[in-house]
Amino acid sequence: MAQKKFEDAMKRLEEISQDLESGDLSLEDSLKAFEEGMKLVNFCSKKLEEAEQKITLLVKESDGKYTHQPFETKGKDET
């Protein structure tokens, strides 16, 4: 799964979600799908964390120059 793209993982998560919501899967197949989904959720979460760490904001200073500042989310410390 290391080579998997974020978008591919999200698409597969949507498919799994639809399969589980349909109610057509057996209990065993539902558990397998759920397990795969949880692995994909973890993968996507890690990818999002990596992306967040790379994001910087350009901030215009009063003198007209731009500086880079690290991206910070509100409420990050709350989780």
What confidence score (pLDDT) does residue 52 get? 75
- Give the model confidence (pLDDT) of 14-47 as tens digits: 999 999 999 999 999 999 999 999 999 999 999 9
Domain segments of the chain: what residues? 6-78
Q: How far apart are CA 25 and CA 53, in angstroms?
A: 38
The C-alpha atoms of residue 18 and residue 25 are separated, in whole angstroms, by 11
Residue 72: what are its φ and ψ, rounded to 5°?
Answer: -130, 135
Task: Note the pTM of the prediction, 2 decimals.
Answer: 0.65
Asked if 33 and 24 touch (Cβ cutoff 8 Å), the reply is no
Q: Whole-number mean pLDDT of the chain?
A: 82
Q: Tokens representing 30? A: 């539902």
Tokens of 75: 């409420």
